[in-house]
Copies of this chain bind each other. A is one copy, B any other.
Amino acid sequence: MTTAKRDTYTPETLLSVAVRVFNERGYDGTSMEHLSKAAGISKSSIYHHVAGKEELLRRAVSRALDGLFGILDEPGAVRGRAVERVEYVTRRTVEVLIAELPYVTLLLRVRGNTTTERWAMERRREFDHRVAELLKAAVADGDLRADVDIRLATRLLFGMVNSLVEWYRPHPDGDAERAQVADTVVHLAFDGLRTAL
């Protein structure tokens, strides 16, 4: 861990340091002391910005959740056949995950007993549920296979997408790579790897 010294701290820069430390040490394993050292500012300076580490967690996971839920209001997610909407949401989920990688990583790793952690887990389940509903609608339209258990397929789809936080590291040519990863996820999940018969 490197220690950054800054003259001025904004809530935004403090948040990005906090997210990095939470991801490195785990939320439970992070103390205000760790945050203070990593940010290179005193604990009282941190308390000037936020009430404590739980507020930093709430802000960080909110950023991830706002990104994800925002997708569901985009035109591509609300217009057209369910199968097109669910493909759109899958593609955008990959893009948001990569664009907000440290924030979504934190969201996916949250387990625990604080109100904020439980709230984050609940909101995350709600997002998964919304996608599962779209998948179900696409099955009802006859566009997705009816012989696959949708609950299981949803879990596997998110298992694949969420695995990105474990192994994906952004490249310098970010945008092109991001689009390629999103395309590959959609191809794999919806069309499969096999060539058409």
Seen from chain A, the residues whose Cβ lies within 8 Å of a Cβ on chain B are 83, 135, 142-145, 147-149, 152-153, 155-164, 166-167, 180-181, 184-185, 187-197
Residues in B with CB closer than 8 Å to A158 are 163
How long is the Cα–Cα vector from A36 to B163 in the complex, in angstroms?
34
**Residue pair B187, A190 in contact (C-beta under 8 Å):** no
Residues in B with CB closer than 8 Å to A194 are 83, 143-145, 190-192
Q: Which of A155, A193, A195 has the most CB of B within 10 A?
A: A193
**Residue pair A193, B144 in contact (C-beta under 8 Å):** yes
**Residue pair A153, B190 in contact (C-beta under 8 Å):** no
A187-B145 contact given A83-B194, A163-B163, A194-B83, CB 8 Å threshold: yes
Of the candidates B83, B152, B164, B188, the one whose C-beta lies within 8 Å of that of A189 is B188
- Min CB distance, A51 to chain B, in Å? 29
Of the candidates B162, B191, B197, the one whose C-beta lies within 8 Å of that of A192 is B191
- Min CB distance, A101 to chain B, in Å? 15
**Residue pair A152, B166 in contact (C-beta under 8 Å):** no
Residues in B with CB closer than 8 Å to A162 are 159, 163
**Residue pair B189, A153 in contact (C-beta under 8 Å):** no
Residues in B with CB closer than 8 Å to A143 are 194-195
Residues in B with CB closer than 8 Å to A152 are 180-181, 184
**Residue pair B145, A156 in contact (C-beta under 8 Å):** no
Q: What are 29 A-to-B residue pairs whose CB atoms are below 8 Å? A: A135-B193, A142-B195, A144-B195, A145-B187, A148-B193, A152-B180, A152-B181, A152-B184, A155-B167, A156-B160, A156-B163, A156-B185, A157-B160, A159-B159, A159-B160, A159-B161, A159-B164, A162-B163, A163-B163, A187-B192, A188-B189, A188-B192, A189-B193, A190-B193, A191-B192, A191-B194, A192-B193, A192-B194, A196-B197
